[in-house]
Structure 1
């Protein structure tokens, strides 16, 4: 059985036991969370709604992304970095 869930403005196809990395969700490791479910399915049968529960495994940070801006011939250069806060989730049940 699988489900399509939405969190952090993105959609993920998940099943029991999957681990996914999503944008930060508040909570400590071991906390159970309920995700917004768009649809569930098994094989070719698809139904709307359902419930997906997940457990927070860890709170981490993503890779650093460098933002570099330059305008040629104007002596203009800007360098900035960003690391996104992420949450690792383990799907415990799809109902």
Structure 2
């Protein structure tokens, strides 16, 4: 099973073909595709650092919001 490590939004993700990821919000519209930076390709034989002949295509399926986080602050009187 081959995989690639890509960089999206300052974080690194390990992906394989056909995999879906939930990542932080990206400045790309829904339905558009783009190619992120490929840092490493491995899985079959020796891993290759920053290969030039491998591209990963990402399609944005939608934007979604996470759960609301409530923060309570205490002030000593």
Q: Give the TM-score category using the shorter length.
A: 0.7 to 0.9
Aligned: 1:56 with 2:65: no
- Paired residues, number: 73
Measured on the aligned residues, the alpha-carbon RMSD in Å equals 1.5
Bigger relative contact order, structure 1 or 2, given CA contacts below 8 A and separation 6+? 1
- 2:8 is aligned to 7
Gaps of 5+ in 1: 75-95
TM-score, normalised by the number of residues in structure 1: 0.68
- 1:70 partnered with 2:61: no
Question: Any idea what the Cα deviations from partners look like across 1:26-65, whole Å, max 9, x if unmatched?
Answer: 2222211111111111245200123211111001111111
Q: Tell me the CA shift for residue 71 of structure 1.
A: 2.5
Gaps of 5+ in 2: none
**Bigger Cα displacement from structure 2, 36-45 vs 53-62:** 36-45
**Post-superposition, which runs of at least 4 consecutive aligned residues in structure 1 deviate over 3 A?**
none
More strand by share: 1
Which has more radius of gyration? 1
